[in-house]
Structure 1
């Protein structure tokens, strides 16, 4: 039997169905889309400091399905405007990769309470501004052991950017590693006054090697590879910085390197979930944030074993680089036996050099 339904009846049924659905339907808001804005003091492809951040952020973003937007070659004079542009573009997390940007990031954080700010190597904390840093001095110490066990002259050069606690800490840690392996070795330091001016860093390196011709290994804390070009021209070995650049495999013994993804994945995920703790984050080699690039093939097996043993001790917390006694370059006991300097001393106040450092 066929049932005939009139047009009016159909409209009535549809109306009832729609009304019924409307009475029980819930509006489900789509998840918030997170866009991360990144302020870089240099080029993301520099194979050094900026590239290490870019690689770490890219890996974390892929894992967390985040969008990244970069502002490269930002300067302290342009960083606030660059941050405001990123926020205007919809970025709700801002990552600053340079301590030089911190004053403006503090201001921006106070002006944009709904945006989360992450400040690499920073010191200032706000409810929506979190500074973070890895204990790179541990990796530099390990690199120092490699240099100390490899040098034949006992003279090691070190070209650095500028005299701030981060750089002094690295020089001291490297020297402690050198002298653990070669107690009489000396580390000669020359500051270039710049992080990324290639010609200035080359000039500083040339000058250092001219003053100390016995130098047979060159280390550096700088974002340009100019010093390595000079080292190659002089036929000496080198310790890299920030990343292992394959273009210098012929002279590199190793390099202290960053694995920023280990910290970025955690911090970005916490920021997305609204549980990022507003405190300074300092993480060590046990988390994987810092480490050494693979040692050169001609590094001796004994050196490899020494590095592995010390790495394990650092990872297990059995010791740390500045565990006393530590004496400064003037013979003054700075860290008594059995003691360790506080993080405040190491990261904010360190302005002295350990025994074995000579400024040039």
Structure 2
């Protein structure tokens, strides 16, 4: 009897798998010759951050696939997303929709059911269907490296962080950054301000200025503009005092040539080339496609050719740190950690236990690493993180 049940279950699973393959092949046949694709952006392609980086990826994808006709819509609010996508499908005849924001995900899920013959890609989404492919590249490990840098550069241990929304992705960024920061300076503190917006350049600049006035001497961030490097650079030119910051998703040297020390960058073109190669060959799997910092698409640096500014490098080389009873300079230690993170097996990860929350709750057990589910649902802060308002 048990063997019969197992056989039936196996047959059902095989049948489901065959149905998925057949459906994907039907979709593939409909992607004839010139395939029309639409990218939908939550921000302006000139934001020099998140949307700018995705737009660079779109252009790289277009150059790599001559059979793709790729259009885009920018500055799309979540409330308008559904109507705009319907127009792209029904009027523009797009066969593939690329949704590039976490804020669109709940709408994408419904649209995928409404249009079963259209492929949807959802950046930072988690729900997979036969025609819905969630994807993401996580750079929290690079935030950890920039936390190490900040620990060596901050003179008073007061670090600011400006975030778009309080979601697991940004909590990962902040926690990893703080772990690196406190590894160098155990007394350091991180002060977070939530914008509740991905792109508010004026507000972001005002908050950065207020942080500077409160003697914060490093500002990290996850939001979509170049406002923070611009604000820190202007402050330096006016006062001669440097408040260090980072490039985010795209190189931002021209906005903060004297104050940007490193950054976390993403080459979305590599991600999109990978995904579209699988879609167009009919080999895409209906699952979450996830990359970490060991991917070539994740880049540690202030730009694509410089990891750490010359000024910061000299300071870090003269900063001694004791690790497992051995003394080394901080710059060499950062490079060592970077090599471990870039290792195909990721031989080091900042979310390795024991890790406690700021409420003294054990979140990751000793010698264990946070799994993907832990990362995607992270809703707690490590110690020494404080949320502020102005």
TM-score by length of 2: 0.80
**SS of alignment partner, residue 33 of structure 2:** coil
Which runs of 5 or more residues in structure 1 are unaligned?
Answer: 1-28
In the TM superposition, residue 202 of structure 1 has moved relative to its aligned partner by 2.2
Equivalents in 2 of 1:332, 1:102: separation in Å? 31
Partner of 1:136: 139
Q: Report if the CA contact (8 A) 2:247-2:253 is conserved.
A: no
Instruction: List structure 1 segments (4+ residues) > 4 angstroms apart after TM superposition.
Output: none
Partner of 2:298: 290
Partner of 1:59: 60
Partner of 1:168: 171
Pairwise mapping of residues 19-168 of structure 1 onto structure 2 (< 5 A)? Answer: 32-65=33-66, 66-88=68-90, 89-168=92-171
**SS of alignment partner, residue 122 of structure 1:** coil
Q: Does 1:275 align with 2:283?
A: yes
> How many positions carry a matched residue from both structures?
329
Equivalents in 1 of 2:65, 2:350: separation in Å? 34
Partner of 2:383: 355
Equivalents in 2 of 1:47, 1:191: separation in Å? 20
- Structure 1 window deviating more from structure 2 (72-81 vs 287-296): it is 287-296
Partner of 1:240: 247
- Residue of structure 2 aligned with 1:342, choices 360, 364, 371: 371
TM-score by length of 1: 0.86
CA 1:86–1:217: 2 relative to 1, 3 Å: same
Q: Report if the CA contact (8 A) 2:58-2:272 is conserved.
A: yes
**SS of alignment partner, residue 62 of structure 1:** helix
Q: Report if the CA contact (8 A) 1:34-1:272 is conserved.
A: no
Equivalents in 2 of 1:246, 1:296: separation in Å? 10
Equivalents in 2 of 1:244, 1:151: separation in Å? 22
In the TM superposition, residue 209 of structure 1 has moved relative to its aligned partner by 3.5
Equivalents in 2 of 1:108, 1:238: separation in Å? 39
Partner of 2:347: 318
Partner of 1:20: none
- Structure 1 window deviating more from structure 2 (181-190 vs 112-121): it is 181-190
CA 1:358–1:32: 2 relative to 1, 3 Å: same
**SS of alignment partner, residue 285 of structure 1:** coil
Equivalents in 2 of 1:42, 1:300: separation in Å? 34
CA 1:30–1:143: 2 relative to 1, 3 Å: closer
In the TM superposition, residue 273 of structure 1 has moved relative to its aligned partner by 1.5
- Structure 1 window deviating more from structure 2 (222-231 vs 266-275): it is 222-231
Larger Rg: 1
Q: Report if the CA contact (8 A) 1:194-1:200 is conserved.
A: no
In the TM superposition, residue 31 of structure 1 has moved relative to its aligned partner by 5.1
In the TM superposition, residue 310 of structure 1 has moved relative to its aligned partner by 0.8
In the TM superposition, residue 90 of structure 1 has moved relative to its aligned partner by 2.4
**SS of alignment partner, residue 162 of structure 2:** strand
Q: Output one character per residue of 1:14-69: Cα deviation in whole Å (capped at 9) or x when no partner.
A: xxxxxxxxxxxxxxx99522221000001112210001111112112211222210
Partner of 1:196: 199
Q: Output one character per residue of 1:53-94: Cα deviation in whole Å (capped at 9) or x when no partner.
A: 111121122112222101011111111121122223122111
